[in-house]
Amino acid sequence: MAVNGSLTTSQVLAAATELLMNGGYESVPLEDGGFTSARVFEDPYGIVAVNVFDTWESLSDGWHLAQGSLVDLISNHLTRPEPKSWEGYLVLLTPAPVPEPERSHVADLRYDTNRLRKLVATGEDLQTLDDVREALLPLLPLEVEPPGVTRSGLLDRLPNLLASEGIPAEITRAVVEAFVDNGSIMERLHAERQEL
């Protein structure tokens, strides 16, 4: 069901599933009926239950049942000494907006680490499919660039930006290169000025 032209619960659940599977998680087959609106995943380090609710009210009323189901699942399949038994994450998502008086309850849920860590995203947070990725970012692997790979960004654009303000692009490039090389910016700047 779409809420005011926003994402549907099916879209949110599908996006979350794809992101976690691509992030190295495997789907956990469930024999229990307690996860009707959820998917459960695991990787070598933890267990994640993604629960998507149609409305804020259903999330607010049902999160504790989802938490209980995940705690039971972990308790039934892992022993206490296993590190993974302490790495449970309950993801609570709804594409529906939260009424103003209830917004403090969202914050309370986010900071509630009783029994499980919780990630919560509501209609205010989930406007696009990219927002689903943002909500799951704490669970996804870090994207680390190999050494020597530079990312095009502000530093690459800086010489042209400052040139439009009258600062020679060659000077800015020299300063940026010194910064990137962790060298002396003043020495590089002095050398560049000598060449001009």
Q: What percent of the chain lies above the pLDDT cut of 70?
A: 89
Does the pLDDT at position 190 exceed 60?
yes
Q: What is the pLDDT of residue 169?
A: 87
Backbone angles phi, psi at 40, to 5 degrees: -120, 140
pLDDT of residue 81: 77
Task: Say what the pTM is.
Answer: 0.69
Q: What is the pLDDT of residue 193?
A: 76
Tokens 């609106």, residue located: 37
C-alpha 27/C-alpha 149 separation (Å) is 33
Instruction: Name the pairing type of β-strands 117-121 and 88-93.
Output: parallel
User: What is each CA distance from 175 to 114, 159, 164, 165, in whole angstroms?
Assistant: 50, 9, 17, 16
> What's the rounded Cα separation, in Å, for the pair 131 and 17?
14
Contact 71, 115 (CB under 8 A): yes
Q: How many CB atoms lie within 10 A of CB 42?
A: 21
15-19, 44-48, 74-78, 91-95 — which is least confidently predicted? 74-78
> Taking Cα atoms as reference points, which of 128, 107, 130, 103 lies closest to residue 119?
107
Domain architecture of the chain: domains with CATH: 9-139 (3.40.1350), 154-195 (no CATH)
Query: What's the whole-number average pLDDT of the chain?
Result: 85
Q: What is the mean pLDDT of residues 53-73?
A: 93
> Are 97 and 126 within 8 A, CB to CB?
no
Answer yes or no: is pLDDT of 1 > 60. Answer: no
Q: Are 27 and 70 in contact (CB under 8 A)?
A: no
Closest by CA position to 103, among listed 73, 145, 59: 59
What is the rounded average pLDDT of the residues 80-90? Answer: 82
| HEC assignment per residue over 42-89 | ECCCCEEEEEECCCHHHHHHHHHHHHHHHHHHHHHHCCCCCHHHHCEE
Span between the terminal Cα atoms of the chain, in Å? 65
* Amino acid, single-letter form, for residue 132: V
